[in-house]
Structure 1
């Protein structure tokens, strides 16, 4: 009996569907245009088409895994439900006050990211706790109902509850939730103590409101998805990719959809890590470029970098503080509006610019012939010869090359360039935009891009990787198998994961270690409970402890890994006596601080502020690694003129079918390697090798 798993990744332009046979090996892929009006319909149609093409019996599908950008886009485009906020009296304006910090001191017209909750839909109650969790004023049911009733009357369908100091003790928020559930049964409720139980009022409130804002949308979409999959006889207990690079059950995602904001890019990073380790390439820059955006993630020792917060819907893409702070665990990456659908235009200074506006899938680039009247990156790549109009998306889409040429000529005329100059300018600008973002991202983490390998995925990564690599000084490029649907494949090899955190202020040099151990034990129990629904297919669970620490008096924290517990004497230290445990905890923070800042301040006590636990469980069944057999080098399947900067003109270039390549294949550029989902561009300075693992490895030679 065959055992299949299906991965689904919804992007801004394409929805990628992959099917993997765990028993017999082999990956089947399909790209369909995203149906923005009803994304679940596009998913259902794509799955139906793929299983039909592959002859898959629905009953043989064991697992369906899903990632989506729907909820991120809902935040950016403000397409969530009418959302209210219930908070402690005197704190309704925290969303506007924020941190009272301008992200651009010299911009006289600066605008902060608009709050997700309108001021008139923010209500206050008198219940209050002090910073230690002591009750100053109890929750009054009449007070809660009086505050919320006007919001419901005005159409508010989702409510964020964020009461003062709820991260210390959630009793007041729980009591308010129970009251609201009795009196307003149709109201979606989000508690800050469930979503972000950590200190800092603005960030906690912003995260809670964001979850409430997208929760009804997420509930409707996930319910619709389950219903449509169920009608096809497929499993409905879908697994969802989280922003942290792990999987959770669909019911967990429905409760806290805020954790799915970066699910698609996270899947891409997991896929990059999986492919690179097959060739012992543990340090890489994972470059994923799709139809709407391009992402870059730093992977060290085989693990994608992790952050414990980011900003969504920034007013200025690289300006910290210009977006909505979201306090969730996420794969640490940088994202820019550069994809195949990015629109080229003339700016106010008469210069050629590309993006961040995108044609998406509706109407799409001009070459799609769906009404798009703007020249895009995809149009430029077609004219330059990088893409094959007869084999676009595996030949599933018809392409209008003449329409692409007309729109490129129009853009070229506006900036004084011929049609080829305009096409190359678009391609080069996109590469420079990504290279600039990569330089900043890597430098901020104290790394040198020349020490890394660039692994390219997505439909656009292999197209642009060759020139992006040269701009940032990288000499080795890797293109994995099925690169165009790598994020969808990453869903099928990802572990299950859960992260929990809470604020507990402890000085490990002097305070009771029992308090610290009890807090971590409680967090570990929450993580294990969250992963319990998946224990049949994922396990065993590996727990890791982290903490946001600082030297007393500092206004910022540094997240560091801590040694395994237990710490408290009542459970036994597990690492010698109590003094040894204290030294180990202090050394863990000091070592990380020195690596980040060079030295530590003398004679200042250390405080651990936010405690964090991560639980990760690998899949119990993994796909068979087929690799690539050795054999004779195939002849090119075709030749066509392709433009390269080094030549300054079109060059008659061989085109290879990736499926025909064998281990040991080796060739000097220029050349192209095509498969159904992407095209790898190897320029005149490149030399490509097919490894036995299936990765194509490109070495960029020094200029002669």
Structure 2
């Protein structure tokens, strides 16, 4: 049972990538927002058909060591404010003000908390009565979950004991109570509170879907657990996952895949550009290491957890292209999978770059998604004429060129500030290969790498994850004894949690680090820690960090070899519009039919598995020894 199934559930398409111990196979299916388990199992069925020649979902599930799953559902729930009302009880004076120090915090506070925050005196003789009244007031205000924030862990334990006594969990209608210090060992009250609030908001959405998926898997008598892929690059069982760590997990998969390819290609500085249906996610890899923020941010609000440094912009294959005040704009609104772009034929009435590329000739109506989906050019033509060409008083052909240029510019703006002289852009996602050269040239990037697995690259990147846990606990006193006591506490937690994951801690890889946080600047650094070490670091607050990992099989990527270039054979031509009054007869190459070393110059179209790459004039393409596509700007 070496087979690992990796799934990345996006807003428009769901990607499935299967590693069977020796090779990778993959497929895609439309996301079904009304019932996400439908696209999950449709995708697994399609993957089984690719592997075995006929659909056999049961066989694939029973051969799988694990299914690792990443989803945008938490991200989407937060964007759409689709979650429970949150109430806050705190012993910290002025916490509400601390949580609204800028516009981003104030906006999120208004959307998730509003006026549902109350302060309690944890040392009052009337604490039991006071806290009961506050919980009752919050529930009357509509709070479905209550976050409890104590100024320190001891105060919070006091509040917790009272609340458990007054609101025992076994009573029907008991409101879920979430305690900030249990979620995050962070001395910053506002950041810790925000982490708990966002986690509480995301939890019901993630819980409903993931446990629903687990129940359907049990119908197939699947013994191995569903694993949730997290934004720290590791995976864990549904029951052992924190909802907050599912946020933006898909982009982390893309970054891990980028790091793997950067290593085998020897790329010192690589940027990923993952263009999905709704967003473009950009991140950085330097010397094969993923760029990570010590304190991540969600919608501009700092949280207590580490997160990969990913910038998301509302520019994707399904982003609405419109005319605003006489100017063509791209996103952030998206038509998603339903109704989708106009050319999908599901009733879409707004223009997207997918419609543009169909009418430009970049996409072929009959080969989209490897021929599993036929596009309707007439619907695209009608929508673009009505929403773009006529409002601007221009012809359709001119509108198409302007829309494409606006899309390239919007993409370039998403990553241009990170570009260096030796940057390589890794372009993937459904729309990435089509737009990479145009965006790269505008941003000053001269080399683009399009992986053979570009259409499912984030799912591919999940294949490099292991089962793992990371713990951070504040050390109350800067003494060796206090640090040792914290060490022993973390060790016990890790042994329990990894046992529940199915692994003995002795068989796992563990790393202990002391996190030093400057009391002046807040800057964090790490030093190795061993039990009994001296921990006196004046001017710093101390946190002990334990990372434990149970390794899973990873795909083995061959080192790149030099191959002689030969002209790439074309399977035909396609008429592609390059200007309002110019249509070129462009050669079409099929990546699956090309061999390492095959090369050519733009303009050209290269059809990959579930993606179309566009090579613009002035660009040279070459198939690498691994079968990936390398574009170089020689113009």
Q: 2:390 aligned with 1:426, yes or no?
A: no
Give 1:169 deviation, angstroms.
6.4
Aligned residue among 196, 204, 224 for 1:208: 196
Give 1:287's aligned residue: 273
Aligned residue among 356, 376, 387 for 1:400: 376
Aligned residue among 31, 41, 44 for 1:34: 31
Give 2:72's aligned residue: 69
CA gap 1:297/1:517 in 2 versus in 1, 3 angstroms: farther
Q: 2:81 aligned with 1:113, yes or no?
A: no
Give 1:263's aligned residue: 249
Q: 2:148 aligned with 1:161, yes or no?
A: yes
CA gap 1:361/1:422 in 2 versus in 1, 3 angstroms: same
Q: For 2:316 and 2:257, locate their aligned partners in 1 and report how far apart those are by CA, in whole Å.
A: 19
Give 1:477's aligned residue: 448
Q: For 1:627 and 1:635, locate their aligned partners in 2 and report how far apart those are by CA, in whole Å.
A: 26
CA gap 1:520/1:286 in 2 versus in 1, 3 angstroms: farther
User: What is the aligned length?
Assistant: 623
Q: For 2:113 and 2:63, locate their aligned partners in 1 and report how far apart those are by CA, in whole Å.
A: 48
Indicate if the aligned counterparts of 1:116 and 1:213 stay in contact, CA closer than 8 A. Answer: no
Q: For 1:352 and 1:391, locate their aligned partners in 2 and report how far apart those are by CA, in whole Å.
A: 29
Which deviations, in whole Å up to 9, do the C-alpha atoms of 1:205-240 show, x marking residues without a partner? 122111111222222111111112222344561111
Aligned residue among 457, 462, 479 for 2:433: 462
Give 3-state SS (helix, strand or coil) of 2:26's partner.
strand
CA gap 1:52/1:153 in 2 versus in 1, 3 angstroms: farther
Give 1:382's aligned residue: 358
Give 1:149 deviation, angstroms.
3.4
Indicate if the aligned counterparts of 2:469 and 2:549 stay in contact, CA closer than 8 A. Answer: no
Aligned residue among 300, 305, 329 for 1:353: 329
Q: 2:596 aligned with 1:685, yes or no?
A: no
CA gap 1:283/1:526 in 2 versus in 1, 3 angstroms: farther
Q: For 2:210 and 2:237, locate their aligned partners in 1 and report how far apart those are by CA, in whole Å.
A: 11
Give 3-state SS (helix, strand or coil) of 1:40's partner.
helix
Give 2:421's aligned residue: 450
CA gap 1:377/1:176 in 2 versus in 1, 3 angstroms: farther
Q: For 1:121 and 1:365, locate their aligned partners in 2 and report how far apart those are by CA, in whole Å.
A: 40
Indicate if the aligned counterparts of 2:602 and 2:617 stay in contact, CA closer than 8 A. Answer: yes
CA gap 1:271/1:533 in 2 versus in 1, 3 angstroms: farther
TM-score relative to the length of structure 2:
0.89
Matches within 5 A, 1:174-573: 174-176=160-162, 178-179=164-165, 180-182=167-169, 184=171, 186-235=174-223, 237-253=225-241, 256-313=242-299, 323-348=300-325, 350-410=326-386, 411-440=388-417, 442=418, 448-504=419-475, 512=479, 515-516=482-483, 519=486, 522-523=489-490, 526=493, 529-534=496-501, 536=503, 540-543=508-511, 545=513, 547-550=515-518, 554=520, 556-562=521-527, 564-566=528-530, 571=532, 573=533
Give 1:693 deviation, angstroms.
2.2
Give 1:641's aligned residue: 575
Greater mean alpha carbon deviation, residues 517-526 or residues 671-680: 517-526
Give 1:607's aligned residue: 539
Give 2:46's aligned residue: 49
Indicate if the aligned counterparts of 2:92 and 2:149 stay in contact, CA closer than 8 A. Answer: no
Which deviations, in whole Å up to 9, do the C-alpha atoms of 1:289-314 show, x marking residues without a partner? 1110001111012111111334334x
CA gap 1:236/1:373 in 2 versus in 1, 3 angstroms: farther
Indicate if the aligned counterparts of 1:366 and 1:407 stay in contact, CA closer than 8 A. Answer: yes
CA gap 1:559/1:421 in 2 versus in 1, 3 angstroms: farther
Give 1:320's aligned residue: none
Give 1:597's aligned residue: none
Q: For 1:251 and 1:517, locate their aligned partners in 2 and report how far apart those are by CA, in whole Å.
A: 29
Give 1:66 deviation, angstroms.
0.3
Give 1:3 deviation, angstroms.
3.6
CA gap 1:113/1:152 in 2 versus in 1, 3 angstroms: closer
Q: For 2:472 and 2:125, locate their aligned partners in 1 and report how far apart those are by CA, in whole Å.
A: 26
Q: For 1:548 and 1:643, locate their aligned partners in 2 and report how far apart those are by CA, in whole Å.
A: 57
Give 1:130's aligned residue: none
Which deviations, in whole Å up to 9, do the C-alpha atoms of 1:24-78 show, x marking residues without a partner? x332222222122222222122223332443351321211000011111111111
Give 1:132's aligned residue: none
Indicate if the aligned counterparts of 1:537 and 1:621 stay in contact, CA closer than 8 A. Answer: no
Give 1:542 deviation, angstroms.
4.2
Which deviations, in whole Å up to 9, do the C-alpha atoms of 1:562-604 show, x marking residues without a partner? 2x223x7xx3x5xxxx7xx97xxx8xxxxxxxxxxxxxxxxxx
Indicate if the aligned counterparts of 1:455 and 1:477 stay in contact, CA closer than 8 A. Answer: yes
Q: For 2:456 and 2:551, locate their aligned partners in 1 and report how far apart those are by CA, in whole Å.
A: 20
Indicate if the aligned counterparts of 2:296 and 2:302 stay in contact, CA closer than 8 A. Answer: yes
Give 1:415 deviation, angstroms.
2.0
Indicate if the aligned counterparts of 1:392 and 1:676 stay in contact, CA closer than 8 A. Answer: no
For the aligned residues, what is the CA RMSD? 3.1
CA gap 1:366/1:463 in 2 versus in 1, 3 angstroms: same
Indicate if the aligned counterparts of 1:499 and 1:612 stay in contact, CA closer than 8 A. Answer: no
Q: For 1:693 and 1:176, locate their aligned partners in 2 and report how far apart those are by CA, in whole Å.
A: 62
Which deviations, in whole Å up to 9, do the C-alpha atoms of 1:504-540 show, x marking residues without a partner? 488xxxx645545654665566456544444649974
TM-score relative to the length of structure 1:
0.81
Q: For 1:284 and 1:138, locate their aligned partners in 2 and report how far apart those are by CA, in whole Å.
A: 59
Give 3-state SS (helix, strand or coil) of 2:78's partner.
helix
Give ranges in structure 2 of 5+ residues lacking alignment: none
Which deviations, in whole Å up to 9, do the C-alpha atoms of 1:450-480 show, x marking residues without a partner? 2221111111111111122112221111111
Greater mean alpha carbon deviation, residues 197-206 or residues 353-362: 197-206
Give 1:163 deviation, angstroms.
1.9
